[in-house]
Structure 1
Amino acid sequence: MSETFLPELPQELWRAGKLELAHGVTHLLQVMRMASAGVGKYLAEIESRGTEDLFGYGNASSWFADVARISLGDARDVVKRAVALNPAPGVGDAEIAAFAPETGAAAADGAIGDQHSDLILEILRKIASDVPREKVEGADKILAGLARHAGPKEIAEAGAGILAHLDPDGNEPKDPEPAPPRRELFVERRKDGFWRVSGLLDPETGARTAAVLDAYGARRPVDEFGQADHRTMPQRRGDAWADVLDLAMACPDQPGTAGYRTLVHVTVSLEDLKTGFGNACLDFVGEITAREARMMACDCLMIPVVLSAAGEPLDVGRMKRFVTPGQRRALNIRDGGCAFPGCHRAPKHCHAHHIEHWADGGRTDLRNLVLLCGFHHRLIHHDDWQVRIAADGIPEFVPPQYLDPLRHPRRNILHRVVT
């Protein structure tokens, strides 16, 4: 049959005029629309009777998906449209009116298609949530009449106008409950004693973290000896992270520290602590050098547990070595920041260094204390620099011979007014 029909169709269409072509299209469109509406009437009836009783399916959508060989989602849309446009049987001879009878009638006439019907139904459902049933019926009549001669754009605009007229204030605005920000942080101790930190931050926290690390991780300016900062970006950010921890631990409201800069327990022998040689146990789980323990003990970044040669605890964090808040304020005023020559670091980034180490009998008073940033604190402990308090009470630093053979003392003049 198709072999005899297909060759003849192009010849017949070729003979047709433009009006005949247009009429053919509009006629077939009406037939398609009427056929679709007719299928909808059948589906609405099947849905009302119960497909499980008629064909053994759980619902009309599943049955129609198999019959039409379409997806279940598309079948659900067709059945939902059919139920909304067609009446359902009630008790006895009574009939339950369709949700949108005027739109259903226009579809049955072939005047509107499925796209028109779905758009009108969407608008009517929005209206039905806020206004009485008679208002929905009036809107259905207006939109169905318009759809017989208009396209989807005009219908959407008319629907928006009806919604604005029936509910000018719109739905009452509701402040949604904000979702908790997603933040994760993993801290893992490696076998070599180092710690690996990784995590995931929400956009706001990530931006704040990057800003803080960039600010505290800026390169140090070239000092008066011409030494530049050659640290890489990851190294500078690692040092910035240490500075941020120092600031947090120095906060008087920090839980569990009572305002002191105590972080961990370090177990070390008295001899190793005095000489700086040997190892110490960090928080009972890892090892650091005794020299590092000696430097950390300056500003109470740890509570040392000092042992005798026989292993007897001689001292567990002597409180007298702690710099009091009053002494700290006095140091901030006197030194104005890191006292090392040429350093710009502010007091909040500095440690209180014992010039004569407390393990060697050094006292915790202003004549034996000086503010040093983390970098220069480490330098003082690991290099040949010497620091002392001059006769006028101001710290001065004596450089090693490889920098200055005459070892002239130097001061930081960046934090004070020179007269």
Structure 2
Amino acid sequence: AGLGQFLAEIENRGAKDLYGHGSTASWFAEMAGLSRGEAGAVVKRALALNPTLALDGTEVPPVAPRTAAVAAQGLVGDERIDQILDILKRLPADTTAEDRAVAEKILGELAPNAGPRQLVEAEAKLLGWLDPDGNEPKDPEPKEPRREITLDRRKDGFWKLTGLLDDETGARTAAALEAHAQPRPVDEFGQADLRMKCERMGDAWAELLDLAIACPDQPGTSGYRTLVHVTIGLEELKSGLGTACLDFVGTMTAREARLAACDCLMVPVVMGTSGEPLDMGRLRRFVTPGQRRALNIRDGGCAFPGCHRKPKNCHAHHIEHWADGGPTDLRNLVLLCGFHHRLIHHGDWEVQMAADGLPEFIPPQYRDPLRKPRRNTLHHR
């Protein structure tokens, strides 16, 4: 108690004026051989248990007078004093001076015969008395984010997508689209990516759909690509000419049906020349998970020369189409991104499997008169 009064007196008179130190704690740390933190705790306790002076010289009563009285009698130790001071700090801010004094008196009288658990229980009872409703929530209950998507099929076969997203979802959507909408690098023939930004964003949306549908946790797909019913004539499927009926809501070209059949689940409804179903309602998976993993390791991404796309952005393409009798094995499969998959199906490029079991691509004659086979060396440097 005497040390506390002495430290409070030094604080009142000013440690700098008396001893040239910036604070009472620094002076006491030097004099007592304590760390700054240890000395600070002692000074803080002394100021709480003893009167101090305000700037205008008026006396400020101690924060815990009843606790100071029992401490002066040696009935309570420093740990219990610090626990009481912490409890007083946690009292509601709107507690009146009278109620605060009553609470401190209760704690001070309890301290000589109480352990830490009893003081914790006393704190709970005091808070229940002073603030029975508890702290007011800092923020209102969060509202459900507002998200709207509308998808309508137009008469020309295109689909119109409109929507409204909350700020967070909109920012995440923009970041995801931007990441997949970067222009393709200039190829070895000097051909740049001529797509407008809106077109690149549309292609990015399609890639994100492929990634989501291929996710093993995707509800209703279990990692398969889109499941659709395609009704097509046998000759149209083999030749790639004509049209197919897509899920009875629209049409697609026979060539597009061949492209979709490379790496997806389909329920094919193949019609004969007389309109009779030749194959109906059999679910067929064309590339097994094991084959897909082997493709990812072998090709490392899109196998088209100069393409940087990773395996997750690629489809498994049949070099000899399954409708033409092509087998579903590694020597007849190659990874292609969406752009180069369409290029192989709709363009003049050709792909073949070399003698070493790796895919190579033959450019059209107007690109290379010698039609020299090319490979992608970016994934296996």
Match of 1:347 in 2: 311
% identical equivalent positions: 73
- The one-character-per-residue Cα deviations of 1:42-69 (angstroms, maximum 9, x if unpaired) are xxxxxxxxxxxxxxxxxxxxxxxxxxxx
CA drift of 1:312 comes to: 2.1
Contact 1:321 1:363 survives alignment (8 Å): no
The reply on whether 1:192 has 2:156 as its aligned counterpart is yes
| Equivalent residue runs for 1:7-22 within 5 Å | none
- The TM-score normalised by the length of structure 1 is 0.58
| Local SS of the residue matching 2:189 | coil
Paired AA for residue 356 in structure 2: D
Paired AA for residue 379 in structure 1: L
CA drift of 1:313 comes to: 2.1
- The one-character-per-residue Cα deviations of 1:200-253 (angstroms, maximum 9, x if unpaired) are 000000000000111001100001111110100110010001000101111122
Paired AA for residue 304 in structure 1: P
Change (3 A) 1:372 1:386: same
| Local SS of the residue matching 1:234 | helix
Contact 2:265 2:285 survives alignment (8 Å): no
Contact 2:151 2:159 survives alignment (8 Å): yes
Contact 1:278 1:290 survives alignment (8 Å): yes
| Local SS of the residue matching 2:262 | helix
CA drift of 1:325 comes to: 0.6
Q: Which runs of 5+ in 1 are unaligned?
A: 1-129, 136-166
Change (3 A) 1:194 1:311: same
Q: Which runs of 5+ in 2 are unaligned?
A: 1-93, 100-129
> Structure 1 CA distance, aligned partners of 2:280 and 2:292?
23
Match of 2:262 in 1: 298
| Local SS of the residue matching 2:267 | strand
Q: Which has the higher helix share?
A: 1
The reply on whether 1:388 has 2:352 as its aligned counterpart is yes
Match of 2:58 in 1: none
| Local SS of the residue matching 1:213 | helix
Paired AA for residue 353 in structure 2: I
Match of 1:209 in 2: 173
Contact 1:266 1:304 survives alignment (8 Å): yes
> Structure 2 CA distance, aligned partners of 1:315 and 1:296?
17
> Structure 2 CA distance, aligned partners of 1:412 and 1:183?
42
Change (3 A) 1:386 1:321: farther
The reply on whether 1:240 has 2:204 as its aligned counterpart is yes
Paired AA for residue 375 in structure 1: F
Instruction: Number of aligned residue pairs: give it.
Output: 257
The reply on whether 1:282 has 2:234 as its aligned counterpart is no
CA drift of 1:262 comes to: 2.7
Change (3 A) 1:319 1:327: farther
| Local SS of the residue matching 1:245 | helix
Match of 1:374 in 2: 338
| Local SS of the residue matching 1:277 | coil
CA drift of 1:344 comes to: 0.4
The two structures, once aligned, show a CA RMSD in angstroms of 2.4
| Local SS of the residue matching 2:248 | coil
Match of 2:135 in 1: 172
Paired AA for residue 396 in structure 1: E
Match of 1:64 in 2: none
